[in-house]
Amino acid sequence: MQIFGVDIGGSGIKGAPVDLDRGDLAQERHKVLTPHPATPDGVADGVKQVIDHFGWTGPVGLTFPGVVTGGSTVRTAANVDKSWIDTDARALFGERLGGLPVTVVNDADAAGVAEMRFGAGRGRKGTVILLTFGTGIGSAVFVDGVLVPNTELGHLELNGHEAEKRASSKVKEDQGLNWERWSRRVQKYLAHVEMLFSPELFIIGGGVSRKAHKFLPHIKGIKAEIVPAQLQNNAGIVGAAMHAAEQHG
């Protein structure tokens, strides 16, 4: 079965039909830049462009880079326009896509669900935490494979700052940090999360997962196993489609 997955991020809106049996993209993904400011209208237009590129007319699963409750309502908007707060995202996208059935889920939760089923978390029991490093830091916490949704660990305080303002990959770029200096910040952050949750496994997702060899060797003193995400930057798209499949049966 195929469902369309769209991953809405701070820098790009990416999507593709997803083969749910294989947990992989069925076609090469298409990406448009996230508009700035990333308002509901502007983002909905971007999503429509991605879907129209494929002429898709079936169910669509979307991620959103903020808290999403009840499968529909946006509650936070750290890295997109604040006018998203309290928006009924499912209604907005459904209407803009001409009535296609849509579902909306937090981006890191989607990536986590995909990694637990098809990637680095397959078959893993106990507490597993996926952290995505991108424009912000997203988190997905699993206990024996079951997701605790909307955990928002990127907003934990670290040395008097929000962690994502110190250790996201956007901060690495903006501040011109080399891998070693950025890794030191990530290490501090992981130590903090480990102190709170004692997970068995950390999965590192987001664009940086492709460059794991550049930063994992610098991260020391963490008891949990640390592995890069296997679906890399497609985990959000795959997880969005998995979420839609669940909702639309």
Decide whether 46 or 56 has the Cβ nearer to ligand BGC. Answer: 46
Q: For the CB of residue 237, give the shortest distance to ligand BGC in the complex, in Å.
A: 14
Q: For the CB of residue 66, give the shortest distance to ligand BGC in the complex, in Å.
A: 4
Decide whether 56 or 74 has the Cβ nearer to ligand BGC. Answer: 74
Which of 135, 164, 141 is CA-nearest to residue 12? 135
What does the binding site for ligand BGC look like in residue numbers (CB under 6 A)?
65-67, 76, 78-79, 106-108, 132, 134, 136, 138, 152, 154, 164
Decide whether 2 or 63 has the Cβ nearer to ligand BGC. Answer: 63
Q: For the CB of residue 220, give the shortest distance to ligand BGC in the complex, in Å.
A: 25
Decide whether 85 or 100 has the Cβ nearer to ligand BGC. Answer: 85
How do beta strands 60-64 and 102-106 pair?
parallel
Decide whether 119 or 236 has the Cβ nearer to ligand BGC. Answer: 236
Q: For the CB of residue 182, give the shortest distance to ligand BGC in the complex, in Å.
A: 17
Q: Report d(CA 201, CA 233) in Å as an integer.
A: 19
3 state SS of 113: helix
Q: For the CB of residue 133, give the shortest distance to ligand BGC in the complex, in Å.
A: 9
Which of 236, 223, 53 is CA-nearest to residue 138? 236
How do beta strands 12-19 and 2-8 pair?
antiparallel
Q: Report d(CA 42, CA 58) in Å as an integer.
A: 22
What letter would DSSP give residue 27? S
- Which is it for the CA torsion 88, 91, 95, 101, positive or negative? positive
